[in-house]
Amino acid sequence: MYESVRPVAQDRLVLVVSPEHRLARRRRPVSRRELAALPLASREGGSGTRETLQRAVGEPMDEPALELYSNAAVKVVVEAGEYAAVLSELAVRQELHDGRLVELPLADLDLTRSLHAVWRPGTRWRGPAGDILAVAARTSRHPRSDRTAARRPLADPA
């Protein structure tokens, strides 16, 4: 069965630490090799965040020091000061703004990813869900695409 897929936004993964972490004042960007060996608090295996990171690093990475099942749990552990983490910039925006977390620059890595809406063929999005997808499709930096046998509108026009 084919799924309908539409890119709706872009996200960037960022390397973050607590302001008290030993790397917080580092001025030199973290290299791909250094990141691969860094003890990280990480999302679970199979998560989009972890898969994006592993694919971008392109070499074997050390196992995470801690594996957690939510962004909130990873942020709490990182704020405590011992571990670094790679998380969605969208997920840590407030913590970076408030100074609870610090972003470390990466030397040779692009951790930008596309976010997609996925649904079963024939689904007619109505009400708020359809409105959100329609707005996302209009404002996305991605060209509109729909990988289905036939193109169909996001929301029922009626």
| Residue 130 falls inside a structural domain | no
Please tell me the least confidently modeled range out of 8-22, 73-87, 104-118, 129-143.
129-143
- In the chain, the number of structural domains is 1
pLDDT reported for residue 64: 94
- Going by C-alpha positions, the residue among 110, 106, 93 that lies closest to residue 35 is 106
CATH of the domain at 93: 3.40.190.290
Round to whole Å and give the CA distance between 21 and 18: 5
The whole domain housing 39 covers 10-112
Round to whole Å and give the CA distance between 25 and 33: 19
When comparing pLDDT for 98 and 153, which is higher?
98
Is pLDDT at 73 greater than 70 in this prediction?
A: yes
Confidence of residue 143 (pLDDT cuts 50, 70, 90): very low
Is pLDDT at 76 greater than 90 in this prediction?
A: yes
- The Cα-based distances of 89 to 40, 117, 133, 137 in angstroms read 16, 19, 21, 21
Confidence of residue 142 (pLDDT cuts 50, 70, 90): very low
| Residue 1 falls inside a structural domain | no
pLDDT reported for residue 154: 40
Which residues 6+ apart lie within 8 Å of 81 measured at CB?
18, 20, 21
Confidence of residue 134 (pLDDT cuts 50, 70, 90): confident
- Going by C-alpha positions, the residue among 5, 12, 2, 11 that lies closest to residue 117 is 5
Is pLDDT at 127 greater than 70 in this prediction?
A: yes
pLDDT reported for residue 75: 97
pTM score, two decimals?
0.76
| Residue 16 falls inside a structural domain | yes
Mean pLDDT of the chain: 83
pLDDT reported for residue 139: 63
